[in-house]
Structure 1
């Protein structure tokens, strides 16, 4: 029997990209791996996925079929140097201390503390809250802060929502590229235009950006303004759309599965709630790699020039739906964050961001109810356009009043 949570997740993927549910379903049919015409090698096994992530001699993030190859066309050839090899290792090491748990907590409190307080206050007062735009502003504020982009005190909400829309416009240039990551001239032009808009503030703040921001750290690392603009664009895109997707879907999953009641009763389950949201949503459901040298994987011979797609969502969901009591699954090892030398640099920040939202929601000490939802359509990253929630008791009180005041026959 298909659960309500599973139905919404399936519909959300279909609203984003109509072909996406078909490709994801294909993942369940190819375990552990199989070569599919046009798509390349589909891998739906966690051990093989980790082998690919850890093998830099045969698999590349900048090869055709991988995200780095797409990014190079959007940002410039410097990507080939920064996404692989010593250049990648050195720059990653230069940024690592910015994303520790302690710094992540301080960042979230500084950038979105007032938003979280308002979220609690609104729910406590019985008002409805739309998690859709909340998630987009929330992620926009955090990533603008860590990037070093100034946010206006007067129209910060509008600025952050506009930033998110531009992020999404850029990410959307990757829609439907199932067969190849090579893009046409018009797509490349649109992507580069979005990148220029996202990084428009970099030249102005480059010289004065604090060393604990991405822009400041790029300057200290010796990058010029243009490469700094590219890195800033990349960070903004990587840290907003996927987190906004997971945030909204986490809130919906807790409601749709009824797990919110357990969470209200036992806040020690918050880490499990976050971990399960990351597992079930796997907001980047498919991860590509290019094969750079002949290699044997899972008993199959792969050749240089082949493309590999790691079916991350398929792998993570093999264990079933959202379950607060599933516990840590050793063989997955957070595959939703990738692996090897490309393990997501912002993993700790992601946990803090999602945890802070749950803490704000749970401060009301009552379950929430989803009263209205709409999927965001025709986008690269599946997410909610609208997800209206309200304190359960407020909904019941309103319904009771409607019943009392309604005219009777």
Structure 2
């Protein structure tokens, strides 16, 4: 491999420098090539054309190994996971026609029309959360708003009871760690055991909804997997539920937190307070400037020539969608957060192609609720004195703040 294809100096997802600012790393590597290899041997796509092409090409870039995890598992953990649905396929890690079959089951729940009917409930949840800290004059917006808001909403849609939400959240975090972090053997065992409990819970939830149907995703998947003429398996239903909670909670939480941070660290917060009509622009700029989902995963089915280099068959590939919105060759002043870009706000935060984010409309409504409630109720919001942003290690896939301490008079 030519030296200019070697991104190991910059593309190390475990390095503090990359965790703090992946965008500088993207820019350094893009100067030489739109395709490079990372420190762990995975292929990284950083060019807009290459990213879009890979995400649209379901024949040469398969999604069936999206949930395999970025790091090797110990033999003990691999055997332990055999009794879970860790290796099973669901909508997120499926190609056509399986992907289309399962996505069709859920499409109506996440359609813009249905999401609009949820707006009052989402606003009420947001108001209730702000009620919990409005009189305190200081809080952590991640733990008190950005995290619980999308968790409550996606659990409502899925059918997870409120009393189970904290436990499900912990299980989901353990599964995410297993996917994207280089864990030692003991941590792998703990996370794998957590996944077994999580899958058992989801099977029980499906059985409960089959016997006691409600208007939620679990009921639809229970009917599809346990009915007289099943259209999916129970294993597929479990993976879909687990993936929905991860996508509908972790990514939305990160987006809300990241966007609020950049609004508050610049003068743009005061602009939104003065002109709430700018909230949609703030959402789009947050999606462009610092999305919580930085990449997805594909595996090449054949040798692929892309960006002037051969990516061998069987290679693990990360199309870095988070790179697109910060490409100075595509977007003027790409590294400046501002709300006056209009239609020039270019990003791939929700992906492209058949795996375009099912919850895109829902995420926008959640972000709008968080911003509008804070703007109206806490217009004097500001970052806590001395705050320095720290981000949760998320591999090449996720980016979210550890905390967002704020104050107001």
Give your verdict on TM over 0.5: yes
| 252, 257, 264: which one aligns with 1:248 | 257
Q: Which structure dedicates a bigger proportion of its chain to helix?
A: 1
Q: Contact 2:45–2:51 (CA<8 Å) still a contact in 1?
A: yes
Residue 61 of structure 2: aligned partner? 59
1:160 Cα shift? 3.3
Residue 400 of structure 2: aligned partner? 383
- Whole-angstrom distance in 2 between the partners of 1:45 and 1:18: 21
1:173 Cα shift? 1.3
Residue 203 of structure 1: aligned partner? 207
Cα deviations across residues 56-76 of structure 1 (Å, max 9, x unaligned)? 11111124xxx2333998734
1:201 Cα shift? 3.4
1:36 aligns with 2:45: no
Residue 273 of structure 1: aligned partner? 282
| 161, 166, 175: which one aligns with 1:170 | 175
1:23 Cα shift? 6.3
1:214 Cα shift? 1.6
Which deviates further from its counterpart, 40-49 or 100-109? 100-109
State the number of aligned residues: 362
Tell me the TM-score normalized by structure 1: 0.77
Cα deviations across residues 235-269 of structure 1 (Å, max 9, x unaligned)? 11111111111111211111101211110111111
Which deviates further from its counterpart, 29-38 or 245-254? 29-38
Which deviates further from its counterpart, 276-285 or 159-168? 159-168
| 215, 218, 222: which one aligns with 2:221 | 218
Q: Which has the higher contact order (CA 8 A, sep 6+)?
A: 1
- Whole-angstrom distance in 1 between the partners of 2:365 and 2:357: 14
Q: Contact 1:273–1:324 (CA<8 Å) still a contact in 2?
A: yes
Cα deviations across residues 295-328 of structure 1 (Å, max 9, x unaligned)? 3323333331223222222322222232111223
Residue 146 of structure 1: aligned partner? 157
Q: How does 1:384-399 map to 2 (within 5 A)?
A: 384-391=401-408, 394=409
Distance verdict in 2 for CA 1:235–1:315, change over 3 Å: same
Q: Which runs of 5+ in 2 are unaligned?
A: 1-11, 71-80, 225-229, 328-333
| 339, 343, 362: which one aligns with 2:356 | 343
SS in 2 for 1:351: helix
Q: Which runs of 5+ in 1 are unaligned?
A: 1-12, 153-158, 179-183, 395-409
Root mean square deviation of aligned Cα: 3.3
Q: How does 1:170-319 map to 2 (within 5 A)?
A: 170-176=175-181, 186=189, 189-190=192-193, 192-193=195-196, 195-196=198-199, 199=202, 201-210=205-214, 212-221=215-224, 222=230, 223-318=232-327, 319=334
